Chains A and B, each alone.
Chain A
Amino acid sequence: MLEAVKEETTDFLALFSNRSQPSPQEPLWLQKMRRDGIRTFQEIGFPSTRDEAWKYTDISPIAQTEWNIPQAADARLTEEGLARIQFSNLSAARWTFVNGVFMERLSSRGALPEAVRVSTLAQAQKECPELLERHLARYASREEPVFHALNLAFLQDAALIHVPPGLIVEEPIQLIFCNVPGGRPHMTSPRVLIVAEENSQVSVLETHLTTGSGVYFTNTVTEVFAGDNSVVDHYKVQRESDEAFHMGTVHLHQQRNANVRTNTVSLSGAIIRNETNTILDGEGGWGELNGLFLISKDHHVDNFTRLEHRKPHCDSREVYKGVLEDQAKGIFRGRIVVAKGAQKTDSKQTNNNLLLSNEALIHTKPQLEIYADDVKCTHGATIGQLDRDALFYLRARGIDEKAARSILIYAFASEMVNKVRIDALRKELDDYLFEWLPRGELVREAV
């Protein structure tokens, strides 16, 4: 076993040394960060299911695949081609990355105020190297560092979003990570860095999409720094190919009175892991974690969340809902840590799951670690099938069984859809649901 693990690591090390070198202008600190990344990876290696944090997610298919790093965005993707993909057109302000590489042709600033900076990695190195150095990889947690280290080593392109103090950005900023599979299996290592200075407000939407079926591996990291009294809404929608792997980490660092919501919507992918790590690092903060995973076939979604109350008087709300059919497998780990001084913490965590077939599977594990004595923390998890009473009620009104089931699944999922504050996204999620549900057209009429 050890030999095998080593061999897998060796493949990645070879990939690292053989990759085309980043630009010679790359600052030294970033070069060092890459080297540190590959070293950390070499030291720890890939996790196995014997590790508690990876018990239900076997990533050996990722370790065993021979990956290729695309050197340029796939030029075949046209504006029309992109527009045909659901969730690709949710804001006029959008930055598109194809196979991990920024593609200017498919990007536009929309009506974003001049003062909002959105830069790719190369642009940021030129235009605002200090800002980049001050924030990049400063917030990522070390709880499960392997894929983060790997992301740093192979970091290819990034979106740096900087909102200056006091600026309210009304238009959501969309980051499209579109994969064009079909050739050799490819690996991308994108990164998002959102810096919202004090009293600012911004809404960022990441969509991870594909043009078709095929094997690829997205290893992505998002870091959010929310300054004093800022408001940040972050969305991540995953609609990857049936054969795709997605290891994603979102780190949210909240200063005093910051109000941050992150919403993760997982719709497809062979193996998806969403690590979400929120740190409430100033008094009066509001942290909200919302998740919806709606999966079928043999898709696998692992939501590995951690929320830490470091300072007093912060509220947090975490709601994850899963709908699983066929042989789909879902995991929810919700860890809440209340540090010693974090008095008057008010935290609530909920995980509800709907299993639509006998083969679908869910593991749910809430974890509370409380070191303060004046706090209010609740958690609850449910796993169930559709409510028989509700089914009978709908059918007794004349709605056929399939439609009744669809209505109830919609009702279950719509709670999460309704938490979305970007109208265009909410509408597309509804459309997605109506397509996904067996009697979606009737549900569209009935809700």
Chain B
Amino acid sequence: MLEIKNLWVRAGDETILKGINLKVNPGEVHSIMGPNGSGKSTLAQVLAGREDFEVMDGQVLYQGEDLLDLAPEDRAREGIFLAFQYPVEIPGVSNTYFLRAALNAIRKHRGEEEVDAIAFLQMVREKMKLLKIDESLISRPVNEGFSGGEKKRNEIFHMAVLEPKLAIMDETDSGLDIDALKVVADGINSLRGPERSIIVVTHYQRLLNFIVPDFVHVLYDGRIVKSGDKNLAHELEEKGYGWIEKEIAAEQPVA
């Protein structure tokens, strides 16, 4: 599904990602954990096509094709979905109509028929029920005046409607109360399937109590310094990121 080879990325003069290697197969759930400033969000945004970052070196293959040449909208149409850490408020644009335009852009790209307003509304209602998301989100403008929790739920709602092949969750769990966290986790779990891959970027282990990842990677200073299974997340929770720092310091050759 996704293969990242020696990815180096910078923003301005600052090098943020320093040789990331990661392989995600269909059906797998990977969790990327790490302290603040380690490059987690940059990685998520680079995969979605954010142009503020410059790829210095490396390659990203998505379904065997070069991903980095594609515009953000083309990546979305090819099935990549980024749940934003900070979803953007867009006053004056209806959450539902906008989402239908997005879905139809994707369907058109795939050569499928566009969904009309009535069929779409029906589908939206079903998804909302399934995700236990309040129907008032339908009629409001995109994220406008939404609480933090509502914004994150709305991201899950968008994801459920767009049905991506590769979903990247950028700290979707941050700042949520336990009810909202469960909605987010249920939403992600309901998408799990043999054809779909999910990358969960998170700072905290808490979400992983609800979404059991197949692999856990620790990102530190722009590199994946440790990979393991779900137990690695528990270990991190117990020992904190300081433990990783110390281990890395110990590995550094003495000058």
**A residues near B, CB below 8 A?**
387-390, 392-401, 403-404, 407-408, 410-412, 414-415, 418, 442, 445-447
Contact = CB atoms under 8 A, between A and B. Distances in A.
A388 B162 contact: no
A399 B101 contact: yes
B68 to A, nearest CB: 15
Contact of B106 (A392, A398, A415): A398
A54 to B, nearest CB: 34
A315 B102 CA distance: 42
Interface residues of B, number: 36
Nearest to A439: B101
B88 A393 contact: yes
Interface stretch (B76-84, B196-204, B228-236): B76-84
Contacts of A390: 88, 90
Contacts of A446: 93-94, 97-98, 100-101
Given A393-B84, A393-B88, A446-B100, A398 B71 contact: no
Interface in B93-117: 93-94, 97-106, 109
B92 A411 contact: yes
Nearest to B109: A398
Most buried by A among B72, B94, B100, B158: B72
A396 B73 CA distance: 5
Contacts of A412: 92
Contacts of A442: 101
Contacts of B49: 392, 395-396
B48 interface: yes
B132 interface: no
B72 A396 contact: yes
A445 B73 contact: no
Contacts of B87: 393
B102 A399 contact: yes
A397 B71 contact: no
A397 B90 contact: no
Nearest to A417: B92
B37 to A, nearest CB: 19
Contacts of B100: 445-446
B82 A414 contact: no
Contact of A410 (B72, B75, B93): B93
A445 B90 contact: no
Contacts of B106: 398
Contacts of B75: 396
B90 A398 contact: no
Interface in B194-221: none
A445 B50 contact: no
A398 B162 contact: yes
A432 to B, nearest CB: 15
B92 A414 contact: yes
B72 A392 contact: yes
A175 B222 CA distance: 66
B145 interface: no
B71 A411 contact: no
Contact of A447 (B48, B72, B93): B93
B52 interface: yes
Given A392-B72, A445-B97, A446-B101, A397 B162 contact: yes
Question: Which are the 6 A-B pairs with shortest beta-carbon distances?
Answer: A446-B101, A411-B92, A398-B76, A414-B92, A395-B72, A397-B102
A388 B92 CA distance: 17
A273 to B, nearest CB: 28
A254 to B, nearest CB: 30
Given A392-B50, A447-B97, A399 B105 contact: yes
B91 interface: yes
